[in-house]
Chains A and B, each alone.
Chain A
Amino acid sequence: MAELRRPTESGVPDPFLYMHPTMKKNYGHWAWHDRPRPGVLRHVAESGDQIWTVKAGTARQLDVYTIRQLCDIADKFADGYVRFTTRANIEFMVTDESRVAPLVAKLEGDGFPVGGTGNSVSTISHTQGWLHCDIPGTDASGVVKALMDDLIHEFKTEEFPNRVKITTSSCQSNCGGQGDIAINIQHTKPPKINHDLVANVCERPAVVARCPVAAIRPALVNGKPSLEVDEKKCMCCGACYPPCPPMQINDPENSKLAIWVGGKHSSTRSKPAFHKLVIAGLPNNAPRWPEVGAVVKKILNAYKADGRPWERMGEWIARIGWPRFFELTDLPFTKYHFESWKGGRSSLNASSQVRF
């Protein structure tokens, strides 16, 4: 057998080797920017150099033919350089305004929608789902495809009070992250345990330790070491499933989708905020999840109609209050909207300030 090659521990590659020359030249010396149209940014450098960025949506999960097609477009229309955003948008850069329109036309013609800038719904950040994850309750790429088909107008225009970041997650670990709107799996039944496999597959103390509510304990089942779940304590989060696959949490009927709103990462105006539950119990209805799309659109329409300029989703709701939010979106308010976790009391209304 040939000797194995030791890796070169080179770490993060130097971006200057791959950067558009105008960005390299003006690195750290940009003066201002504007958005000539949705999907296009113009940045002006202190040197007077200008660069137009055309942003387009992708499926994120890309086959080599699509990547080469994007490379062909970059070579012919945009100096042979691209960059990607954290939300899987691709950006092409040109230094001459006259090259913007042909590039936009080419992208649109080839099926890559141009948009995702400013006060639009940008591409949904998502996880792996059924395609590649080991614990998914639903798909990710498929949910995003179905939703973005529905929201294509919102991607290509800038009609909201501020930007809208949507995320999806195929389990309650929520790798999709906080969002103005987050669409996440919410399990509703405790794990079904395959007791024949636990002893061989799972490190039992680690699984016991993983449970956030101490509902799991070691047990002897049918003469074999296994685990049991106190189903009164279990809140069906699925945290035991990754370290112990025989504790099957995913359930075709009872793993539902929940929608959360008002998450925000930036410290701009208001401090960063977590998204809050607005609706649960939506069916995991592959391949197009129409019930989810309908609620997302309802929330977006209310925000678009009622939000003031620059208000993010959560800031809009903070101004109008939750009673009005549930009224405008026609969504039910239930006992499950009350926080029951540690520190939950701080989310109660400790005042006589009430909205009518």
Chain B
Amino acid sequence: MAKPMPNTPNLDQLESGPWPSFVTGLKRLAQTEDKPYANMMKDLLGQLELSYQTRKGYWKGGVAGVFGYGGGIIPRFSEVGEKFPESKEFHTLRIIPPAGMHYDTKTLRFFCDVWEKHGSGLIALHGQSGDIMLQGATTAKTQDAFDELNIAGFDLGGAGPAVRTSMSCVGSARCEHSCYDEARAMRETLNSVMDDMHRPSLPYKFKFKFSGCANDCVNATHRSDCAVIGTWRDDMQVDQAEVKNYVKKNGRKWMIDQVITLCPTKALSLNDDDTLAVDNKGCVRCMHCINVMTKALHPGKDRGATILVGGKRTLKIGDLMGTVVIPFMKLSSDEDREKMVELGRTIIDFFAENALEHERTGEMIDRIGLPNFLEGIGVEIDPNMVSQPRTNSYVRMDDWDEEVEKWNQRKQTKAAAR
């Protein structure tokens, strides 16, 4: 006789309404009696309903993994496994998706087939770090599932004190704002540090994220230790005929209220003939005007990225945004991207050697000071790294003259390079 469906009065209330219901999906799996996961999903529903009733979680970590790797599987053992034995082991495989999360249906169907055979049939697309999350494998089945996926070209993502799975925005694949090849920069950077992803031995997690412009569609600034954000250093491209069309269509008031006055650095002005004047020296590449007038305005041609380091959420010293470490880096040629790869490795090495246990890069930098971090990774200071100079005089600066000399030499070197 088939195992009965659990009684789920709370979860049942999440099946009505217009938004797609995950409960309906879970039930569908639980009711597919000819599949090995039906009973597992019945018990999973039973445990979830219990959580809804008691308002407590019942999963605990533990040890589960695949041969050759130290991470990438999220072990989950139930604290109420006696009551719900079929789902007492419910591990997640974190799988790295193709950069930009592109799929053909053949590949998605392949994931479904593998997960139907070895797992629960439940897949999250995607987790907050950007992994495909195959949720619900027993310890015994974890290796089999991974082997099938790995042979087909898919690899485990990061978990624990390791480099984590990265994300890049849709970027060059479908966006005119793209300032570099996000997917390629992401792949080349990440694929050079796979050892630190698969064998967790860093002080704590380390995340890279890649956005093609300041709109930062993958939330890199706050949600990554190393944020690579597209920008340009020459003049913004302006198609004045198209600017005039926008003004003609929407009116001058619209142009002034929605474009000109919203420029954060007052770098825009509307000319008497309804063309646009741009103070490119004052422009901070924020993307606002370009977002509004996609047909008329475009990033400049000398494109690259600004790199910010140290973003993270609350634990332990409070939220930190990433801050500028490289104001501009070209990412066009193989050679440019090799520099990005090297920078990533250098930052991770410095982090591995200097961060305290369970300390993120941002916290480490907060503790040692940005100039010391910069010296450690061999990057020169730049006024773009501060929103303002210090306001407090409590600092010892008896080598001021030497620091000035360094600045002057850097200026000369830069001038010579031009």
Contacts and interface: CB of A to CB of B under 8 A. Distances in A.
Interface of A: 4-15, 17-20, 23-24, 27-28, 30-34, 43, 51, 53, 57-68, 70-71, 74-75, 80-86, 88, 90, 93, 111-113, 125, 127-139, 141-142, 144-146, 148-149, 152, 172-178, 206, 209-210, 212, 237, 239, 245, 250, 252, 255, 265-270, 272, 274, 284, 286-288, 308-310, 341-343
A18 to B, nearest CB: 4
Contacts of B258: 309-310
B67 interface: yes
Contacts of B358: 206, 209-210
Contact of B321 (A65, A174, A272): A272
B104 A81 contact: yes
Interface residues of B, number: 124
Given A12-B186, A67-B123, A86-B130, A239 B286 contact: no
B264 A86 contact: no
A342 B102 CA distance: 42
Contacts of B102: 15, 18-20, 23, 81-83
19 contacts: A8-B150, A13-B155, A15-B98, A28-B181, A31-B176, A33-B175, A57-B20, A59-B20, A60-B125, A71-B105, A82-B103, A133-B59, A142-B11, A178-B222, A206-B357, A206-B358, A266-B221, A269-B264, A287-B14
A131 to B, nearest CB: 6
A139 B52 contact: yes
B279 to A, nearest CB: 16
A5 B316 CA distance: 39
Interface in B28-77: 28-29, 48, 51-52, 54-61, 66-69, 74, 76
Contacts of A133: 57, 59
A80 B106 CA distance: 8
Interface string B103-125: 11111110110011000011111
A206 B359 CA distance: 12
A-side binding surface: helix, strand, loop or mixed? loop
A324 B150 CA distance: 56
Nearest to A110: B20
B288 A310 contact: yes
B149 to A, nearest CB: 10
B175 A112 contact: no
A60 B124 contact: yes
Given A27-B172, A266-B214, A11 B221 contact: no
A212 B68 CA distance: 35
B124 A43 contact: no
Given A6-B67, A71-B108, A132 B135 contact: yes
Interface string B280-293: 00001011100110
Contact of B198 (A9, A34, A174): A9
A194 to B, nearest CB: 12
A152 B10 contact: no
A68 B194 CA distance: 31
B223 interface: yes
Contacts of A28: 172, 178, 181
Contact of B146 (A7, A112, A287, A309): A7
Nearest to A344: B318
A63 B257 contact: no
Interface string B231-268: 00000000000000000000000000110001010000
Given A81-B105, A139-B51, A132 B14 contact: no
B25 A62 contact: yes
Contact of B25 (A61, A83, A90, A128): A61
Given A7-B155, A84-B97, 16 more contacts: A30-B172, A32-B176, A32-B294, A59-B19, A59-B20, A61-B25, A62-B125, A81-B102, A84-B125, A112-B20, A125-B128, A135-B57, A245-B60, A250-B56, A288-B13, A310-B288
Contacts of A11: 96, 155, 187, 190-191, 194, 197
Given A27-B173, A341-B318, A149 B17 contact: yes
A7 to B, nearest CB: 5
Contacts of B108: 67, 70-71, 82
A85 B167 CA distance: 10
A234 B195 CA distance: 38
Contact of B174 (A51, A61, A270, A343): A51
Contacts of A272: 216, 221-222, 321
Nearest to B112: A64
Contacts of B172: 27-28, 30
A46 to B, nearest CB: 9
Contacts of A267: 214, 216, 221, 229, 284, 286-287
A273 B319 CA distance: 10
Nearest to A13: B98
Most buried by B among A60, A90, A135, A239: A60
A255 B57 CA distance: 12
